[in-house]
Amino acid sequence: MIKSPCIIGKNCEIRKGAYIRGNVIIGDNVIIGNSCEIKNSIIMNSCEIPHFNYVGDSILGSKTHISGGAVISNFRLDGKPINVSTLENNVINTGMCKFGAIIGDRAQIGCNVVLNPGSLIGKDSWIYPNVSFRGFLESNKILKLKQ
C-alpha cells in the first residue's frame, strides 16, 4: 500500500506487503521489501530495506543497507521531545515528539537492530545484529555487542 504524498524514484523495487504511509521520498534504485513500513522519511538512492523493517521519521543516506527485522524507532515511551547528541557531546532538543534516525551513506545496519529515537549514524559505519543503540556513532566505526 502506498499513501500519498509520496515520491518514488526510478528503478525501485517495492515488494509485496510493503506499507508506505505517506510523506516519503524514495530515491532511485531503492528496495523496499516485504512487510516493511516507511513513514515521514527520506530514503536516498540505492538504499536496501529488504524485509520486516520499520523506518519512521528518518533520513537514510545513499547505499544504506538495513538488514531484516531492524527497526528505526521514532517515539519515546514517555512522549517527551527527542534529543540528539552530537560528536562534541552537545545535546540538541529537536522539539519533536517523533524523530527517528539520520543514517550516513553506505552504513550497514544488522539484523534485529533497534535504533532508538534521535540516533545519528555516521557514513560507512556498521552496527552488528541485535544491538539496541541510541546516540551518535561516528563515521567509519563498527558497533557490536560485547561478548
Q: Which residues are catalytic?
A: 51
Report residue 62 as a C-alpha cell. Answer: 545513499
Q: Is the peptide bond before 50 cis (omega within 30 degrees of 0)?
A: no
Cα→Cα distances 37→10, 20, 57, 81, 143, Å: 20, 6, 11, 23, 25
Burial of 29 (0-12, 13-18, 19+ CB in 10 A): middle
